[in-house]
Amino acid sequence: MDFSNLLEMEVNASKLTRIKQALRYYADGFSWFNLYDVYECIRKDCKDVNKSAIPKQWTTDAQGNDRLKDFGECANNAFISGYAARHSFADSNEIDRISDTLVILKKGNVKISVMTLNEAGSFIENLMVQWLKDRGIHF
């Protein structure tokens, strides 16, 4: 076996490991923790393999809104997702709730379109499908 390009082999092996990890997290069921772990695998893989962030077209909905910030805030913020969130109330940004589907972060005055856990699951599933296709895995 030719080991002259060990660095490339290492990148390819880590890429497959991340795919396995993402699929495992996804298979463990929908929780903010598992879905965010899938996202972290995809984000790290895009950064290492493509030397760039996750492409915007993968995170943009049919109305043209980039939903990545919404996903991250809903996953992490206890004021949005309650005790199921990844972070405690003490470490979450306080919000003004405009409606069931819209909040504004008090710090920074940022609008967040609220995702339910099921909506977040669909968002991550779509993101994962785009990522896997980009990596040459078709199904």
pLDDT digits (tens, 9 = 90+) for 50-100: 889 999 999 999 999 999 999 999 999 999 999 999 999 999 999 999 999
Give the three-state DSSP class for 95: strand
> What H or E segment, with its residue span, contains residue 126?
helix 117-134
Return d(Cα 52, Cα 47) in angstroms, integer.
Answer: 5
Domain boundaries, the chain: 6-134
Give the per-residue pLDDT at 100.
Answer: 94
Per residue in 39-62, pLDDT tens? 999 999 999 988 899 999 999 999
Considering only CA atoms, which of 26, 116, 46, 122 is closest in space to residue 75? 116
In this structure, the strands spanning 111-113 and 102-105 are antiparallel
| Res 3 pLDDT > 90 | no
- What pTM value is reported for the model? 0.87
Give the per-residue pLDDT at 49.
Answer: 86
